[in-house]
Amino acid sequence: MFQQFVHRSNNTVATVARCFALPAKTQSLFFYSSSQQQTQLQNPEPSKSDSKSPIGSPSRVQKLIASQSDPLLAKEIFDYASQQPNFRHSYSSYLVLILKLGRSKHFSLIDDLLLRLKSERYPVTPTLFSYLIKVYANADLPDKAIKTFYTMLEFNCKPLPKHLNRILEFLVSHRSYLRPAFDLFRIAHKYGVSPDTKSYNIMMRAFCLNGDLSIAYQLFNQMFKRDVLPDVESYRLLMQGLCRKSQVNKAVDLLEDMLNKGFVPDTLNYTTLLNSLCRKKKLREAYKLLCRMKVRGCNPDIVHYNTVILGFCREGRAMDACKVLHDMPSNGCLPNLVSYRTLVTGLCDQGMFDEAKKYMEEMMSKGFSPHFSVSHGLMKGFCNVGKVEEACGVLDELLRFGEAPHLNTWVIVIPRICEVDEEKMEEVMKKVMKVEIKSDTRIVEAGIGLEQYLIQKIRSTSRRSTRG
């Protein structure tokens, strides 16, 4: 084992020496014998760029370290250069090497380099610590991230709000580190780091998600006392927290406060409130809010309209949902597939099949393909109330559009059609055969459904004739 270690060490030393002995442009082009490597190790050729150091300038060493794909070999080169007389690494060499070691998760070696930077009194920049925070976050080491904040102070490098925010974002992603994150947030000002709007938003989001709404509210109010201006996201985070706690009225009041202070709510602010109002069955308030959005400088989009349409349909108020759909074009927003599907389903649930058929035809005329649940619900509804002709009309529309119903629909529709008019069934089957065969076209299932119906009808007829 010891012999293997010595052999590897000798190879490493020889490799490092060869790297320094070659000109920068030919380092990777030639190989030397072991005797040549030993000579070069003992008598490295002086660099013309730096007469004081036998291995050349710090810039050359930095480029050599940067060119290595193996971080440990890069560290060997760094150490070898450090041992040479009259040589001092550039700060860039430290940065490059720390970058390589961080990517490969050699954190103990990074700690050693930081100690050397400190003992040799290198002037460090905030960039180094920005990178270290990122490295520790990627490696999921929250304690190391916290320590980096205090390491900056040891180097007399004042942390910036962006450093604090990156650490806080990482810490709050771990629920168990919410308290340490809050402690750091509260004491940061003692070290000259004043939390900014983003800092407050990070902590407010974390406490809202954790269910600590009262603390989030305290932070929000604290912003004004400390001359930190909240932004649209600050309000939205608190609104979302209030809505999760079913305090929708307070969330609406917060929106009014936001408007009074001159803030213009964004689409997400309104989406949050509309969702909550609809879930709380406060549909009148939701519709009023939708209508007032444009006046307040935020045009309602498809998500806002579909949210309210769904809210009305869920509560059995499909005709109110129709009104919302009619309002959309005049406000610069056209209904989409979700709008029509939701409305047709809502109308069917209320037994308003004729109205539902009208909107399904409108939907298909605009190029939208009806979902299976939509066409199935509509045809089933017509069949259940004895309107087989209307069910056939829906089936005709589907076939004309190039769609064929699924098995569950055939099972319901075929017997009803045959009971009324067997010639109509033959006409339907001819249309089915004209439909382009696709993966979701159920022509075979239609035939199976018809076969099962005919078998049942024959058996029923046979039983009646036997009894007679």
Q: Would you write out the chain's pLDDT as a tens digit for each of its 468 residues?
A: 434 433 444 455 455 555 555 444 434 332 333 333 333 333 333 333 344 566 789 999 999 999 999 999 999 999 999 999 889 999 999 999 999 999 999 999 999 999 999 999 999 999 999 999 999 999 999 999 999 999 999 999 999 999 999 999 999 999 999 999 999 999 999 999 999 999 999 999 999 999 999 999 999 999 999 999 999 999 999 999 999 999 999 999 999 999 999 898 989 999 999 999 999 999 999 999 999 998 888 889 999 999 999 999 999 999 999 999 999 999 889 999 999 999 999 999 999 999 999 999 899 889 888 777 788 888 888 888 888 778 878 877 777 776 767 667 766 776 666 665 555 555 655 555 555 444 444 455 555 555 555 555 555 555 555 565
CB 309 within 8 A of CB 303: no
Q: Which residues of 60-72 are buried (b: 16+ CB within 10 A; e: fewer)?
A: bbbbbbeebeebe
Phi/psi at 154 (5° precision): -65, -30
49: how many CB neighbours lie within 10 A of its CB? 12
CB 270 within 8 A of CB 237: no
* Structure token pair of residue 369: 């393909």
197: how many CB neighbours lie within 10 A of its CB? 16
Amino acid sitting at position 351: G
d(CA 341, CA 392): 20
d(CA 406, CA 409): 6
Contacts of 121 (CB under 8 A, 6+ apart): none
What pLDDT score does 276 carry?
94
d(CA 130, CA 200): 20
What pLDDT score does 6 carry?
37
What pLDDT score does 289 carry?
94
CB 75 within 8 A of CB 101: yes
What pLDDT score does 31 carry?
30
What pLDDT score does 216 carry?
96
What pLDDT score does 386 carry?
80
d(CA 105, CA 132): 11
What pLDDT score does 424 carry?
57
* Structure token pair of residue 235: 């309000």
d(CA 457, CA 408): 19
Contacts of 446 (CB under 8 A, 6+ apart): 404, 405, 410, 414, 429, 432
What pLDDT score does 24 carry?
42
d(CA 357, CA 352): 9
Q: What pTM value is reported for the model?
A: 0.74
Which DSSP string corresponds to 57-90?
-HHHHHHHHHT-S-HHHHHHHHHHHHTSTT----
78: how many CB neighbours lie within 10 A of its CB? 25
